[in-house]
Chain A
């Protein structure tokens, strides 16, 4: 019981805010590196890049699942405590709600950015 209370009183870690954009950044790098290496080393003479599209779709599913989990965690923190709790007090509850809200909003933004990155490679589909 005391352990549970102690966990509840902890302030959310700041790195939670940047975790969703970090997933988007890794997805971006992985997608373009895969396309660049495939097109430089493995592409057929007709330049089709179906394998790259498959790989990027896989990366995208994984990235979106991670971002959804991070967003859900942020949303839970945001709803911690009473509804009237402020976001900008110095108290632990307020910090927790503020970090949770920022994490949730950045997760939404990262999900859109990840989809936009994937769309380019899915639509283009060639090395030309």
Chain B
């Protein structure tokens, strides 16, 4: 049986939960309205010219063709352009200097996410972004391999992530909730599975979450988890993954220090539960074709159980 898909969060640009997304939805509605006006006039005149029998007066014909075919579309499109351009200065204005900053690196096919704490430390997580509600947040975006595009449809517009360059995006969430982020630029085999979870929460809750994320991984206490920790080291998982507070310091794959606190696995490909975690370890490429991590099918059942027990206590 295949594990269930994740589809319980909003990924719609028409369900805005941020200042930028609300403006984009307004613009979309005006664009549709303008397009309908132009379509009705042009098609209406075409129908009129066919349906009304007999010759048409040349002067009236010229007026209708030039007016309906050129002047009205130009006026409508110019108005829409002015309306859209008037939005840009505010959307491009940098956030206040004390706003939270989140660095996001696009990596085929996952997201490296870094927060700065008040004491200047950098906290790394992956495939999950949490934001305080009713505050401007600045994103600094880059890529470690190919061009990706960072997009949270419910919160705002999208911005490309370009290797060797840092692009910026300001988002201002206005509603608490869970949302879906995606890569909006085709980047290879698992592009469609390069997604991330976004949780917008009240500021006190966000502070508690960030404080928890800034701590090192908890020591395993149960026997199976202790064995899983040893297997994690012995099988070389630490060469690619970091678990802060241990000697696992790999940078190839996502930081797993607080893996169990995340709601999904494989860049929001599957819900984070025991069955899916086992499946990910042993059949990685069935879940996400093309991913760098090898499938550990050589592990026996008890070894997989132990590693899963270890990872599931990393809250």
The interface of chain A, by Cβ under 8 A from chain B, is 108, 112, 115-116, 119-120, 123-126, 128
Contacts and interface: CB of A to CB of B under 8 A. Distances in A.
A12 B85 CA distance: 40
Q: Is the interface of B mostly helix, strand, loop or mixed?
A: helix
Interface residues of B, number: 12
B71 to A, nearest CB: 10
B47 interface: no
Contacts of A119: 81-82, 85
Contacts of B78: 112, 115-116
Interface stretch (B88-96, B129-137, B263-271, B297-305): B88-96
Given A116-B78, A123-B88, A124-B85, 18 more contacts: A108-B70, A112-B74, A112-B78, A115-B78, A116-B81, A119-B85, A120-B85, A123-B82, A123-B85, A124-B88, A124-B89, A124-B92, A125-B89, A126-B89, A126-B92, A126-B93, A128-B92, A128-B94
A123 B89 contact: yes
Contacts of A112: 74, 78
A124 B88 CA distance: 6
Contacts of A124: 85, 88-89, 92
B204 to A, nearest CB: 32
12 contacts: A108-B70, A112-B78, A115-B78, A119-B81, A119-B82, A123-B85, A123-B86, A123-B88, A124-B85, A124-B92, A128-B93, A128-B94
B38 to A, nearest CB: 15
A123 B84 CA distance: 10
Contacts of B88: 123-124
Nearest to B84: A123
Contacts of B89: 123-126
A66 to B, nearest CB: 20
Nearest to A105: B70
A118 to B, nearest CB: 11
